[in-house]
Structure 1
Amino acid sequence: MPTASKTTAAPPKRAPGRGPGRGLFAPVTAWLTRPLASFHLLLAVFGLLTVFGLVMVLSASSVDSYSQAGTSYSVFGRQVLYCLVGLVLFYLALCIPVRLIRRYSMALLGVCLAMLALVLTPLGEEINGARSWFSLGGISVQPVEFAKIAFALWGAHVLVTKRGLLGQYRHLLVPVVPAALLMFALVMLQPDLGSTITLFIVLLGLLWFVGAPMRLFAVLALGGVTGTLALAVIEDYRMARLTVFLDPSADPTGNGYQSMQALYALADGGLFGQGLGQGWSKWQYLPYAHNDFIFAVIGEELGFLGCAVVLGLFALTAYVGMRIARRNTDPWIRIVAATLTLWTVSQAVINMGYVVGMLPITGLPLPLISSGGSSVVSSMLVFGLLANFARHEPEAIAALRSLGPGRVGRLLRLPTPDPYRPPAKRRPARPSTPPSRPATKASGAKATRRGTGKARAQGARSGPGSRAQTRGGHR
């Protein structure tokens, strides 16, 4: 008997752009599509940066602490205390409703401006030639760190409130730019050029993310560079920093000593480093090893790989911060999240840039890693705000309201966020009826004749039946 021929099905064609390596990232891509992925990713980055910073502060400050206090844990103990205070502010920023933060942003800015003015009085403490701190029971507080956050919150509130008028320069620039200039002046009276630069970055972030025209940024950039050069020329120590940046080896034992020692520490680290706690730069070779130049200690003890981990963590911070801003629908949250992310990452880039010799020394700390009270507390406050904004993504709100708070929410007793409701559009006001003019004698007579004529016409149309009914009604 003839056998039926078997037909073999053709193999399915591979979809274009779906290579074999695409499957390696499938679990990561699937995880990032979850509603609370931004929130959990931010918590992970925050925890890693905090723990890494504490470990490196302990390693970088042990020698200095022992030589000054007789114990290797004095600086580390203060850093742990600062982290505990920062965790409290992190939790408060995570729990407070967003509408309250926006409502009281003006009050927060007013308090910060008052603190910036008071620090210039004898109430402030002068450290390293700058009157920038308040000393409270042995703990120093630098108000400019919190003024940056308050300015971002208030500036975004003003720009969102006036978003229908931002096509006009006077509404775009006033009152945000005058308030920024006032803060610049108060900070430069301390003087603190590094903090002024970061405040300028916050201003640029606000204007950029609200959609200001590009020509405005060209003018601001020109003014910023001109102002920085002018401030550098009028002070000898700033001019020395600029000269050292151009040629650190010109004065290796004087003004270029710190920059050269940082480069030596990074060179000694190599690829894998000398080992945690085994670096030599902290033995009084590198000034401020646990503050401004802790990145050099990281490079010396953990090598290029340790520096790459720090770079990766801040790159991940930039990604998750911008992701939170992009996925939110509230315009105020979008601007604040993007601006705070830009400020945090830019400060990290500036710190690492002057350690490796690519930027002039500004004295800005590395967020969450350098030792210091105000810096680590304000950085934790920023991460708390970003975490709060992450829970206000539309998909996150829907998941939290339908499925419950989840394990992290139950553990931290976090409130369920409210959905974003855009402000109701105002209806155009209806034109009011113009007042009637007082009737004159002529107009009154005309109206009387007009009314009499109308009554006669209606009587003629109604006919005799109508008049009979009327008479009947009178009877």
Structure 2
Amino acid sequence: MRVALTTWLARPLTSFHLVLAVFGLLTVLGLVMVYSASSIESLANGGTTYRVFQKQVIYCGVGLVLFWVALRVPPRVLRRLSPPALLAGVVLLILVLTPLGTDMGTDTRSWFRIGGVLSFQPVEFAKVALVLWGAHILVIKRAMLHQYRHLLVPLMPVALLMFTLVMMQPDLGGTIALGVIPLALLWFAGAPLRLFAGITLSAVSGALVLATTANYRLDRITGFLNPDDDPQGANFQARQALYALGEGGFFGKGLGRASAKWDYLPNVHNDFIFAIIGEELGFVGCVVVLGLFATLAYVGLRIAARNTDPWIRLVAATVTVWLVSQAAFNIGYVVGLLPVTGLTLPLISSGGTSVVTTMLVFGMLANFARHEPEAVSALRAQGQDRFSRWLRLPMPDPYRPPARRVRAPRSAAPAGRPPLRAGRPTGAVGRMVVHPLDERRRGRRGAPPEQRRRGAAQGGQR
């Protein structure tokens, strides 16, 4: 069994198939659990049990299109689009604070309403844009990252600007998820540990300040520190989630039989859907969910380690940490290990923009998996596999590092030789630059015999 697993993991397209498997299982599980968790609320508010589920299916359809597009677009094109994507993300975060944005019945102005039916949350798009652009900047400056000013600028000023815009909505959960991205980028770029000590201290101080500036956030913190206080107020959701997990037992009550969704647990199909999984599918269902996200962590870091393109390595590792950490935050506050932050469980919770964005990220991961050097060689030697043919994917291109050009020093033209044309560097042949040492050697070979002997004698004296 161990030998068979090791052999399968060594296959060139294992990463690609693992991404597709995790993506498909999480999507199907999410649709099933959203329908089960939202059926009672949908029936009470819309007269049909499919009201929330229908929206989720529409968003999944949009996400599948973006998944396929991200799977087909070459990584070099994605990298080229990262600066305008970041600009668009910042503009959207600014516009959502204007009357164009809406609060969707909550205390945060975080959405754009589309057609009165669908909604769009720009912070989710801004996360993807920050990952792509941040990796692009760090790869460009990778030779200077040993200096703090090149390591932190312009990444951290732009990230702080986005944090400020998200907190003005205000959206603490979105800020926390967004804050994971620059930390992951700096970590995988090789930033020193002492830098993370300062960033962590600043982040904790900022979180404490933000927690005390709004009463509902302060209630969440105090409720977490005192779980037995105010069971009908600040601790109501957290307590009901623990009751639901406890009633599920080892194998659960059965699909569709949870009692928490009968208005005992608010937002059960969104923020607290893991509690319904625990009640209906039991401990076994919770372990399956944890196993899927653990597999995502493994395959995402595997893709980053097996690629040679430094930009792909940074993006793959960062989006993996982002998705897995968001799942950890959500599961952590459902089981009572963290304060409630309002983050969704990726691909499982009901939430339009979150589902669409997560599917886009999975498409990029699958694309990067097909650009592993061994995968590229196998596809070019053996042809497309079954999934690639079914999805009509183009053949991936091997990574070609940028050519290093050496600028030859300018020198005066020898007597009797016509001067070089203006604008042409010394030693240049077309767009390639010949190394000065090669020029010197070629010049000696073309010199008269007595000049070559004199040069050799001078070299021996030196």
Same fold (TM over 0.5): yes
- Please report how far the alpha carbon of residue 255 of structure 1 lies from its aligned counterpart in structure 2 after TM superposition: 1.1
Counterpart selection for 1:399 from 365, 370, 378: 378
Task: Return structure 1 stretches of 4+ with deviation > 4 angstroms.
Answer: none
CA–CA distance in structure 1, aligned partners of residues 144 and 414 of structure 2: 34
- Please report how far the alpha carbon of residue 381 of structure 1 lies from its aligned counterpart in structure 2 after TM superposition: 0.5
The match for 1:117 is 94
- Please report how far the alpha carbon of residue 309 of structure 1 lies from its aligned counterpart in structure 2 after TM superposition: 0.4
CA–CA distance in structure 2, aligned partners of residues 299 and 435 of structure 1: 84
Counterpart selection for 2:39 from 62, 83, 92: 62
The match for 1:41 is 18
1:200-219 paired onto structure 2 within 5 Å: 200-219=179-198
CA–CA distance in structure 2, aligned partners of residues 387 and 187 of structure 1: 29
The match for 1:254 is 233
Counterpart selection for 1:131 from 103, 109, 113: 109
Code of the residue aligned with 1:135 in structure 2: it is R
CA–CA distance in structure 2, aligned partners of residues 149 and 192 of structure 1: 17
The match for 1:384 is 363
Counterpart selection for 2:213 from 234, 238, 247: 234
- Please report how far the alpha carbon of residue 253 of structure 1 lies from its aligned counterpart in structure 2 after TM superposition: 0.6
CA–CA distance in structure 1, aligned partners of residues 336 and 39 of structure 2: 26
CA–CA distance in structure 1, aligned partners of residues 385 and 285 of structure 2: 34
- Please report how far the alpha carbon of residue 431 of structure 1 lies from its aligned counterpart in structure 2 after TM superposition: 3.6
CA–CA distance in structure 2, aligned partners of residues 426 and 170 of structure 1: 25
- Please report how far the alpha carbon of residue 152 of structure 1 lies from its aligned counterpart in structure 2 after TM superposition: 0.4
CA–CA distance in structure 2, aligned partners of residues 353 and 326 of structure 1: 28
- Which consecutive residues of structure 1, in runs of 5 or more, have no partner in the other structure? 1-23, 437-475
The match for 1:283 is 262
CA–CA distance in structure 1, aligned partners of residues 364 and 214 of structure 2: 37
CA–CA distance in structure 2, aligned partners of residues 373 and 218 of structure 1: 36
- Please report how far the alpha carbon of residue 165 of structure 1 lies from its aligned counterpart in structure 2 after TM superposition: 0.8
- Please report how far the alpha carbon of residue 428 of structure 1 lies from its aligned counterpart in structure 2 after TM superposition: 3.8
CA–CA distance in structure 1, aligned partners of residues 349 and 72 of structure 2: 27
CA–CA distance in structure 1, aligned partners of residues 389 and 253 of structure 2: 43
The match for 1:79 is 56
The match for 2:79 is 102
CA–CA distance in structure 1, aligned partners of residues 362 and 220 of structure 2: 32
CA–CA distance in structure 1, aligned partners of residues 232 and 372 of structure 2: 54
CA–CA distance in structure 2, aligned partners of residues 134 and 334 of structure 1: 33
> Tell me, what secondary structure is at the counterpart of 2:411?
coil
- Please report how far the alpha carbon of residue 406 of structure 1 lies from its aligned counterpart in structure 2 after TM superposition: 1.5
Is 2:143 aligned against 1:164? yes
After the TM superposition, which of the residue ranges 243-252 and 352-361 deviates more from structure 2?
Answer: 243-252
CA–CA distance in structure 2, aligned partners of residues 355 and 214 of structure 1: 31
- Please report how far the alpha carbon of residue 435 of structure 1 lies from its aligned counterpart in structure 2 after TM superposition: 12
- Please report how far the alpha carbon of residue 159 of structure 1 lies from its aligned counterpart in structure 2 after TM superposition: 0.3
Is 2:281 aligned against 1:302? yes
1:336-351 paired onto structure 2 within 5 Å: 336-351=315-330
> Tell me, what secondary structure is at the counterpart of 2:228?
helix
CA–CA distance in structure 2, aligned partners of residues 255 and 409 of structure 1: 50
1:181-192 paired onto structure 2 within 5 Å: 181-192=160-171
- Please report how far the alpha carbon of residue 429 of structure 1 lies from its aligned counterpart in structure 2 after TM superposition: 3.2
CA–CA distance in structure 2, aligned partners of residues 287 and 433 of structure 1: 80
- Please report how far the alpha carbon of residue 426 of structure 1 lies from its aligned counterpart in structure 2 after TM superposition: 2.2
> Tell me, what secondary structure is at the counterpart of 1:140?
strand
The match for 2:438 is none
CA–CA distance in structure 2, aligned partners of residues 360 and 284 of structure 1: 22
Change (3 A) 1:410 1:252: same
Is 2:390 aligned against 1:429? no
> Tell me, what secondary structure is at the counterpart of 2:190?
coil
The match for 1:6 is none
Counterpart selection for 1:292 from 240, 250, 271: 271
Highest Rg: 1 or 2? 1
CA–CA distance in structure 2, aligned partners of residues 252 and 279 of structure 1: 21
Code of the residue aligned with 1:45 in structure 2: it is V
- Please report how far the alpha carbon of residue 26 of structure 1 lies from its aligned counterpart in structure 2 after TM superposition: 1.4
CA–CA distance in structure 1, aligned partners of residues 249 and 412 of structure 2: 83
- Which consecutive residues of structure 2, in runs of 5 or more, have no partner in the other structure? 416-462
> Tell me, what secondary structure is at the counterpart of 2:112?
strand
Code of the residue aligned with 1:106 in structure 2: it is P
The match for 1:17 is none
> Tell me, what secondary structure is at the counterpart of 1:135?
strand
> Tell me, what secondary structure is at the counterpart of 1:292?
coil
CA–CA distance in structure 1, aligned partners of residues 223 and 54 of structure 2: 34
- Please report how far the alpha carbon of residue 433 of structure 1 lies from its aligned counterpart in structure 2 after TM superposition: 3.2
Code of the residue aligned with 1:38 in structure 2: it is S
- Please report how far the alpha carbon of residue 133 of structure 1 lies from its aligned counterpart in structure 2 after TM superposition: 0.2
- Please report how far the alpha carbon of residue 248 of structure 1 lies from its aligned counterpart in structure 2 after TM superposition: 2.2
- Please report how far the alpha carbon of residue 434 of structure 1 lies from its aligned counterpart in structure 2 after TM superposition: 9.6
CA–CA distance in structure 2, aligned partners of residues 182 and 122 of structure 1: 20
1:291-347 Cα shifts (integer Å, max 9, x gaps): 000000001111111100000000000000000000000000000000000000000
Code of the residue aligned with 1:275 in structure 2: it is G
CA–CA distance in structure 2, aligned partners of residues 30 and 194 of structure 1: 41
> Tell me, what secondary structure is at the counterpart of 1:319?
helix
> Tell me, what secondary structure is at the counterpart of 1:110?
helix
Code of the residue aligned with 1:165 in structure 2: it is M
- Please report how far the alpha carbon of residue 397 of structure 1 lies from its aligned counterpart in structure 2 after TM superposition: 0.4
> Tell me, what secondary structure is at the counterpart of 1:157?
helix
> Tell me, what secondary structure is at the counterpart of 2:164?
helix
1:78-113 Cα shifts (integer Å, max 9, x gaps): 101110000000000000011110011000111111
The match for 1:10 is none
The match for 1:264 is 243
> Tell me, what secondary structure is at the counterpart of 2:109?
strand
> Tell me, what secondary structure is at the counterpart of 2:165?
helix
Percent identical among aligned pairs is: 64
1:111-139 Cα shifts (integer Å, max 9, x gaps): 11110000000000113100000000110
The match for 2:126 is 147
Code of the residue aligned with 1:34 in structure 2: it is R
RMSD: 1.2
